[in-house]
Amino acid sequence: MKGYVDLYVLPLPKKNLSAYRKIAQQFGEIIEDHGALEYREWVADDLKAKGMTPFTSKIKLKPGEVLISSVVEFHSKSHRNQVNKKAMNDPRMKALMEEKPLFDMKRMLYGGFSTIVKMGANDEERKSKGKK
């Protein structure tokens, strides 16, 4: 199965959430303009599931911080590399990189992941088999 995502998890001072949202929107536009398939961001609101290891065991939130997660979807790892290379050369990205960071980059978790299962409401294969 083809598909690749970059996953980010980062702590953000809650007071910076509005400014972060604007920068994230700009980043999303840039990365999609250069070929990313989808870009999404979330703010955590349920981090205490019983019997599981919470994200906050790896990223200790300081008072007044929230946890942000984002995913950028690509066709493949090589597609990701091509998109990122183009995006990093975009003058809009260079301008974003010059701005003062809104969070501590050293506390951010990041990884690239190959897709092993992908399902969704518009999954054509399931529809063709008559399953809903």
Each residue's pLDDT, cut to its tens digit, for the chain (132 residues) gives 689 999 999 999 999 999 999 999 999 999 999 999 999 999 999 988 889 988 888 899 999 999 999 999 999 999 999 999 999 999 999 999 999 999 999 999 999 999 999 888 666 655 666 655
State the Cα–Cα distance between residues 93 and 18, nearest whole angstrom: 19
CATH fold, domain 4-128, is Alpha-Beta Plaits (3.30.70)
State the Cα–Cα distance between residues 84 and 91, nearest whole angstrom: 13
DSSP category for residue 91:
H
Q: Helices 91-98 & 17-33, crossing angle to 10 degrees?
A: 160
State the Cα–Cα distance between residues 66 and 51, nearest whole angstrom: 22
> pTM for the complete prediction?
0.85
Backbone angles phi, psi at 17, to 5 degrees: -60, -45
State the Cα–Cα distance between residues 118 and 76, nearest whole angstrom: 13
